[in-house]
Amino acid sequence: MRQRLFADFEERDQAELGEKLHSFARELYPICRSITGAGIRETLERIGKRIPVKVSNVPTGTAVFDWTVPREWNIRDAYIKDARGHRVVDFQQLNLRVVNYSVPVRATLSLSELHPHLHSLPDHPDWIPYRTSYYREDWGFCLSHNERVALEDGDYKVCIDSSLEDGNLTYGECYLPGRSSEEVLISCHACHPSLANDNLSGLTVATAMAEFLQGRDLRYSYRFLFVPGTIGAITWLAQNRENAGRIRHGMVLAGVGDPGGFHYKKSRRGDTEIDRGATQVLKHSGEAWETLDFSPYGYDERQYCSPGFNLAVGCLMRSVWGTFPEYHTSADNLDFIRPAQLAGSLRVCIGIADVLENNRRYRNLNPYCEPQLGKRNLYRSTGGGSIGTEINARLWVLNLSDGENSLLEIAERSGLPFPTIADAAELLLDGGLLAPLPENES
Ligand code: ZN
């Protein structure tokens, strides 16, 4: 009955795990992803080599709530050539260099005609910004500010060899069935091109979490969603309107590889089991952490927490989007995400799953005064001194197991880590001192 996810995870070599996560990020980094097109499909294919992924294609023009699935964007090449024929801006060198979703263009422009189509960051003159134009027909290039000021007067040949045609929006799902049809949702966006923390960190950690959970006897079913941001989550919800009710707990994963401390943004409901479970795990993670109240902007939690759904879905991040200078620039690269931080984020995710899998209520079968633990070999053999964490945990579980408090509530009130409380409950259950309440009553 006890599913020891966190203890199992702790036995793994964390440095090796971090390296594996980072190497998967390196594999995915060069792919030019967008909200539709070949890049997201190739990304899902690569994830599908590690975990079972079902790929869905939703045709352009499909109405999804108040939105419409857009045309599919694909790109082969893009550049700006100077009068000597040199590529002064080259998509082949870095896919951030073209504004994502740019319409095709072939033209010769003077520098002053070109400038309105150029994006750079004067405050970080060596970095290249990441820009998109999904819902407005436009085209443009991104370059460092130093490159921009070095452009000489003259004519420039501009080419964006892209296509914007009827096609599909593609998303991927990995479903791991558990004993219950109630689900834990892990969602991450898969639409950013060569950006490491903002999206690759979430993809790699979610994939590794599914790898870790698959094949286990799980209480909940787990659904991992790899979707283009905003439109992908909206499309999935529109196509799964009825099934969404099965989602009992959920979490969006994004920006979990940078050197910052953790931020857990609570669900709209604010006090759900996953909100409290995540807080509990972070409190004992040994890393810096903070919880944030729900707000209607951010990642896809804002779709899952829209009032019509109001699901118990929070968001786990390290540094919060928009608050670090590397955000949406070429500096959010493979050096910005660290193996140890990726592994630490996976550790928190497994810790949260451990809480969800094992959190339930018990009834103390000996509620009149303390049961005599010593005669059951559940107490220390020598008196005096402190009782230690394990026995303390047993006393807390016995005292609070009145059928009302869950193990998570006991962990919160005792200040002890959840796995210590769950271990104590298992021992007391084996010792005939506790009776479990049905799983669906936790
Ligand atoms: Zn982003």
Domain boundaries, the chain: 5-69+168-358, 73-165, 362-441
Spatial separation of the C-alpha atoms in residues 106 and 84, rounded to whole Å: 17
362-441, what's its fold? Answer: Arc Repressor Mutant, subunit A (1.10.10)
Distance 198 CA to ligand 1 centre (A): 5
Distance 80 CA to ligand 1 centre (A): 25
Spatial separation of the C-alpha atoms in residues 410 and 91, rounded to whole Å: 55
The pLDDT of residue 368: 97
Distance 69 CA to ligand 1 centre (A): 19
Which single residue is written with the structure tokens 């294919």?
Answer: 45
Distance 196 CA to ligand 1 centre (A): 10
pTM of the model as a whole: 0.96
Which single residue is written with the structure tokens 């005669």?
Answer: 375
Distance 327 CA to ligand 1 centre (A): 8
73-165, what's its fold? Answer: Glucose Oxidase; domain 1 (3.50.30)
For the record, the structure tokens of 340 come out as 């140890």
Question: For residues 98 and 141, is the Cβ–Cβ distance under 8 A?
Answer: yes
Determine the straight-line distance between the first and last CA of the chain, rounded to whole angstroms: 14
Distance 300 CA to ligand 1 centre (A): 11
Q: Which residues of the chain have pLDDT under 70?
A: 440-442
Distance 330 CA to ligand 1 centre (A): 12
The pLDDT of residue 408: 98
Decide: residue 103, CB within 10 A, 0-12 exposed, 13-18 middle, 19+ buried: middle
Instruction: Catalogue the long-range contacts made by 84-93 (C-beta closer than 8 Å, 24 or more residues apart).
Output: 85/157, 88/143, 88/147, 88/151, 88/156, 89/141, 89/142, 89/143, 89/147
5-69+168-358, what's its fold? Answer: Aminopeptidase (3.40.630)
Distance 351 CA to ligand 1 centre (A): 26
Distance 255 CA to ligand 1 centre (A): 9
Decide: residue 322, CB within 10 A, 0-12 exposed, 13-18 middle, 19+ buried: exposed
Distance 192 CA to ligand 1 centre (A): 7
Distance 194 CA to ligand 1 centre (A): 11
Distance 417 CA to ligand 1 centre (A): 33
Residue 223 CA: distances (Å) to CA of 51, 53, 207, 314, 407 = 12, 10, 11, 15, 24
5-69+168-358 against 73-165: fold identical: no
Distance 402 CA to ligand 1 centre (A): 46
Distance 254 CA to ligand 1 centre (A): 9
| Residue ranges with CB less than 5 Å from ion ligand 1 | 198
CA-based diameter of the chain, in Å?
A: 92
The pLDDT of residue 440: 63
The pLDDT of residue 442: 45
